Amino acid sequence: MKKITIAIDGYSSTGKSTIAKRLAKALNYIYVDTGAMYRAVALFALDHGFVDGEDNIPELIAHLPEMELKFVPNPDSGKSDMYLNGQNVEEEIRTMRVSGQVSKVAAIGEVRTKLVEMQQQMGQDKGIVMDGRDIGTVVFPDAELKLFMTASPEIRATRRYKELLDKGEQVTFEEVLKNVQERDRIDSTRSISPLQKAKDAIEFDNSDMGLEEQFERIYDFSQRVI
Ligand code: C5P
C-alpha cells in the first residue's frame, strides 16, 4: 500500500489532534502535533523572560539555537511527549500561561523557519499525519490529503474549557473563549504563513459531529487516496 502525507489544519481547539492521532494509529503512520512544537518555543521564551511583560524578541531569536525540541514516545500513554532541552514539558505546554503567548511567538519568522525545517524532515518518508496551521499550505504543499477543520468558537472553547478543568487548571469559560478567539485572530492575520485553507483542502466543520462520525468520514477520505 502506498504511503501518503496527510495535512490537517484548522482553527484552535477544533479537535485536530484527536482525529489526527486516531487516524495515524489506524493507518500505522507517524503522528506529529506541530502545535506542541510552537508551544515548547513559547515555554522556552517564557522561562527565559523573553516574552510576557517586556518582550525581547531579538533575544529570543538569538537564543533559538540553544533550544532542543524532541518528541519522545511515552509507553504509558502510547503517545509522544514533547521534550524541551531534555525535560518532559508535555503538561506545561498545555497550560493557559503558554496558550497566552504562543501565537505571538509563532508569528516570528525565525521560529517558523526552524520548526518548518524540522517538520519537513520528520515527513520526508511520508506515512505521516501532521496537524497545525500551515501544514497543507507551507510545510507539505504537495500532501496527498489535506483537511481544514472548523467549528464554532463557542463549541471549540467549550471543548477546551472541559479539557483544562479535567487537568485541574483554574480558568473561566470566558478566559478560554477569549484565548481561542485571540489565537485565531493572530494566527489568521500574521504576515508569515497565516492560517488559511489550502485551495485543495477539504473543509470539515465538526460543530455537530461526534468523534466516531468524524473519524469514519476522515478515514474514508484517506482510503480514497491511498
Ligand atoms: O495546535 P495548538 O492549538 O496547540 O497550537 C498552538 C499555537 O501554535 C497556535 O495557536 C498557533 O499560534 C501556533 N501554531 C502555528 N503553526 C502550526 C501549529 C501551531 O502557528 N503549524
Task: Say whether 33 sits in a helix, a strand or coil.
Answer: strand
d(CA 110, CA 169): 31
* 187 touches ligand 1 (CB under 6 Å): yes
pTM: 0.97
* 156 touches ligand 1 (CB under 6 Å): no
| Cα of 158 from ligand 1 centre, angstroms | 18
- State the pLDDT at residue 21: 95
**Index of the ligand 1 atom closest to the CA of residue 16:** 1
Helices (H), the chain: 16-27, 34-47, 57-63, 96-106, 109-122, 153-166, 173-189, 211-225
All three cell numbers of 195, joined, read 492560517
| Cα of 15 from ligand 1 centre, angstroms | 13
Whether residue 87 has pLDDT greater than 90: yes
Residue 74 pLDDT level (bands cut at 50, 70, 90): very high
* 12 touches ligand 1 (CB under 6 Å): yes
d(CA 191, CA 202): 24
* 132 touches ligand 1 (CB under 6 Å): yes
Residue count (the chain): 226
Q: What are phi and psi of 52, to 5 degrees?
A: 75, 115
Q: Tell me the per-residue pLDDT of 170-215, one tens digit each, with 9 for 90 and over.
A: 999 999 999 999 999 999 999 999 999 999 999 999 999 999 999 9
Whether residue 104 has pLDDT greater than 90: yes
| Cα of 133 from ligand 1 centre, angstroms | 6
* 134 touches ligand 1 (CB under 6 Å): yes
* 130 touches ligand 1 (CB under 6 Å): no
Site to probe by mutation for ligand 1, drawn from 11, 41, 102, 118 as the one with most ligand atoms within 8 Å of Cβ, is: 102
- State the pLDDT at residue 78: 84
Q: Give the count of domains, the chain.
A: 1
Domain span at residue 61? Answer: 5-224
Q: Tell me the per-residue pLDDT of 138-171, one tens digit each, with 9 for 90 and over.
A: 999 999 999 999 999 999 999 999 999 999 999 9
We report the CATH number of the domain holding residue 13 as 3.40.50.300
| Cα of 224 from ligand 1 centre, angstroms | 28
- State the pLDDT at residue 52: 85
Is 137 known as a binding-site position? no
